[in-house]
Amino acid sequence: DQSVKIAPSILSADFADFGREIQAIEAQGADWVHVDVMDNHFVPNLTFGPPAVKAFRKHVKSVMDVHLMIAPVDPSIEAYADAGADILTAHFEAGPHIHRTLQAIRGAGMKAGVALNPGTPSEAVAHVLDLCDLVCVMTVNPGFGGQKFIDMTPKIRALRAMIGDRPIHIEVDGGVDPTTAPKVVAAGADVLVAGSAVFRGGSVENPAPYGENIRAI
Ligand code: DX5
Ligand code: ZN
């Protein structure tokens, strides 16, 4: 489906070689590059922060889609704008003031996203949709790549209906592979994040599997 974007998550890349990994996935057909920021507080895993994301920016020719799994969010928004994030997504569950957070992300010149954990209902975003460019539906509990897909298709359908004709992406993140992707696309998703399903079988020395994996999703 040409209208559906694939956003490989570099959480499944070689952490010692991010620059070449980003170049490889873009050369193999990635539409966006998904960057998972984890703080060992909001989620039980730790990845990287603004200086690393700024270094990634030099290699990203497409869209740098930064998914913050951190709390609090607001004190870091300027740093991710400076790092060159095109889209900055914060979790609804990460603080009490999602409306303020989305305003601040747009105010810093980025597109604004809100992510919903599996236990969070679609209604959480009902009154902030006009501040959103993207809603990310988590289909795993955030923190790790390679987890089993949790079916959130009723939530995706409800969001698609709620969004109507507004230009808001529905992104799905977690356990997306050639089996689960068609289900979430049928429900209304238009951006698919995939880590393990893109990077499996390939490497910077042998990147062709990345392309085969992207086309299979
Ligand atoms: C999970 C991250 C995802 C993760 C997806 O907390 O937000 O982006 O990398 O990995 P897979 O596709 O392997 O489930
Ligand atoms: Zn993510």
- What pLDDT band is residue 170 in, cutting at 50, 70 and 90? very high
In tens, the pLDDT along 3-57 reads 999 999 999 999 999 999 999 999 999 999 999 999 999 999 999 999 999 999 9
Cβ of 118 less than 6 Å from ligand 1: no
Q: Is 173 a catalytic residue?
A: yes
HSE-CB of 77 using CA atoms within 13 angstroms? 23
Residue 145 annotated as part of some ligand binding site:
yes
Report residue 72 CA to chain centroid gap: 18
Please give the number of the atom of ligand 1 that sits closest to the Cα of 138. Answer: 7
Cβ of 140 less than 6 Å from ligand 1: yes
- What pLDDT band is residue 185 in, cutting at 50, 70 and 90? very high
User: Which domains are present in the chain?
Assistant: 5-216 (3.20.20.70)
Tell me the mean pLDDT in the region 56-72: 98
Interatomic CA distance for residues 96 and 128, integer angstroms: 13
Do 118 and 138 meet the contact criterion of CB atoms below 8 Å apart? yes
Do 36 and 28 meet the contact criterion of CB atoms below 8 Å apart? no
Residue 201 annotated as part of some ligand binding site:
no
Q: How many C-beta atoms lie closer than 10 Å to residue 83's C-beta? A: 22
In tens, the pLDDT along 113-167 reads 999 999 999 999 999 999 999 999 999 999 999 999 999 999 999 999 999 999 9
Catalytic residue among 39, 65, 133, 173: 173
Q: Is 165 a catalytic residue?
A: no
**ipTM for the predicted complex:** 0.98
In tens, the pLDDT along 89-119 reads 999 999 999 999 999 999 999 999 999 999 9
Residue 164 annotated as part of some ligand binding site:
no
Candidates 110, 114, 165, 161; CA nearest to 137 is: 114
In tens, the pLDDT along 67-87 reads 999 999 999 999 999 999 999
Please give the number of the atom of ligand 1 that sits closest to the Cα of 196. Answer: 13
Exposure letters 110-141 (e unless 16+ CB within 10 A, then b): bbbbbbbbeebebeebeebbebbbbbbbbbbe
Question: In the prediction, which pLDDT does 1 show?
Answer: 66
Cβ of 195 less than 6 Å from ligand 1: yes
